[in-house]
Amino acid sequence: MGQFHFDVPDAASDFMERSLWKDAYICGIEGVPWQSQNQYDGHSLTVTRGIESSGKLYIACLLDDLGYRTLSTCSLRPLDSESYHLPLELARGSCYRARVQSDAWKRAGLTVSEEFDRLLGEGTARFLDAAQCRSDSAGSAEAAMEAIVLLEQAIADLGESYAVQSIAFRKQREPQIGTLLAGAVVPPSPTRSPFAEAFSAAFNAAAVRLSWADIETDSGSFDYEAAEHSIRYCAGKGMRIIGGPLIDFREKLMPHWLYLLEDDFEAFLTSVSAFVEKTVERFRGSIQLWNCATGLNTPGPLELDDEQAMRLAVAILQTVRRVDPQTPAIMSFDQPFGEYLSRHRDGISPIHFADALVRSGLGMAGIGLDVRINYKSDATLPRSAVDFGQMVDRWATLGLPMLVQIAVPGGLGADEDSIMQSDVLQYDSLAADAASEQLRVAGPMIRTLLAKHIVHGIVWDGWADGEPHVMSHSGVIGKDGKQRPLLEYLTRVRREFLA
């Protein structure tokens, strides 16, 4: 058993208290989090995992002007009798990431800004101050925390330079970038919306959810009317249609009568296959891309072991390919960084699950990644655009095009109209202007994805909070009908860059 001990000086106690230390985890060189147990007594953080090998600590901390940001240390050895200085090690990790990534990109031709050079220089100097005064625990902690903020701001600036220059490079070769920018639609939205025209102005595609829970409300009873209205409306606007996910393996997105099958996997598999077959037959010819399923890699309403999850994924994909062999079909994977593995002993690594399906020879045309940011549970920890882009590059090694679905809240409080009713992370800048914060978080992610040739589609998982939607406050139009800044941004991206 390996234990990592981190001292938290009094000067950093508030910094630590506001962090998401309960969700911290250790990750090895392979990039897969290990299940861990975390304890914090006000002075020391202890992370325990089942193997004794080196790894990096990942922890989401609240930083001035940046909101929550996942920080990481450099690789550390588990020590039984010694402790690491947590702020100092996090500052060392930020310094390493900023300097190594900027050096690699500059060698590839990237031009960094003067602001980046200033932030990097000042951040590095403060890190060295923290390292040189370790005997003064409080002074070292304060210098380290200042270094973290400066270096993470430098990383944000670096990510922006990469995205802007990469998109400009793409534009030189593709006057109109072919990336799909889709809005997720929960039928009957957007056909009844007073903002329906704004939907077609912001998006060149629609991801129409064909939810099993909404269509087969009772076993054997199917209702496709709302889905047909949405597909017909979006197709009439000249938009490409992404059908699905057909199966979203989250409790509130699965049929209520599913409990009848919880002890009979074979019957469950038969029911899933029957729904998928009937739905694909119904909309064959109207759909340009099938999103077969998502969330099979994460814990869902039924407990599935690795073999059962794989059998389910294979059955869904085979059914779609058999019924509609001409239309491309993808599988999507939830929380692609794999944070849930730190809490679930029997979890399935998302990238390893995807790799097994890619190698199966079933004709999977691409990979979907579902990313939800700034939610308290079942979500991806907030990351810099640089870290987000590195995750996409890691998935790109599987060699298939990608479709990335994003949700970021633009409001606070209860959202009774959302299906998942997810709690939103709260911090000062979000409370002050949640709509602007939605754009600040989502904008760099979208620009990073547009810079990646391997990303063929971006789906915004939310349209209008006053209409059916999955994640709380994820709409680009608030429940009060007020358009959020992200809608204007997406409309501009659609007009200036996309075919």
Count of alpha carbons within 13 angstroms of residue 267, beta-carbon side: 10
User: Which amino acid type is present at position 8?
Assistant: V
- Structure tokens given for 235: 């197709």
The pLDDT, as a whole number, for residue 192 is 63
Instruction: Give bridge partners of residue 460 from the DSSP assignment.
Output: 183, 406
Mean pLDDT of 192-197: 72
**Domains in the chain: ranges and CATH:** 2-169 (no CATH), 174-497 (3.20.20.80)
Q: Which of 12-26, 73-87, 264-278 has the lowest mean pLDDT?
A: 73-87
Res. 193: pLDDT tops 70 = no
The pLDDT, as a whole number, for residue 53 is 82
pLDDT in tens, 415-456: 888 888 889 998 888 888 999 999 999 999 999 999 999 999
pLDDT in tens, 336-393: 999 999 887 767 899 999 999 999 888 899 999 999 999 998 899 999 999 999 999 9
- Structure tokens given for 443: 């904008």
Q: Are 117 and 89 in contact (CB under 8 A)?
A: no
The pLDDT, as a whole number, for residue 159 is 96
Q: Using 50, 70 and 90 to split pLDDT, how confident is the model at 15?
A: very high
Q: Using 50, 70 and 90 to split pLDDT, how confident is the model at 99?
A: very high
Q: Which of 178, 185, 193, 302 is CA-nearest to residue 244?
A: 185
User: Which amino acid type is present at position 192?
Assistant: R
Q: Are 336 and 381 in contact (CB under 8 A)?
A: no
Res. 189: pLDDT tops 80 = no
pLDDT in tens, 55-65: 899 999 999 88
> How far is the C-alpha of 143 from the C-alpha of 469, rounded, in Å?
44
Res. 335: pLDDT tops 80 = yes
Average pLDDT of the chain is 90
- Structure tokens given for 33: 């989090």
CA dihedral for 176, 178, 183, 188, sign (positive or negative): positive
Res. 81: pLDDT tops 90 = no
Q: What is the pTM of this model?
A: 0.92
- Structure tokens given for 206: 């629609």
Res. 326: pLDDT tops 80 = yes
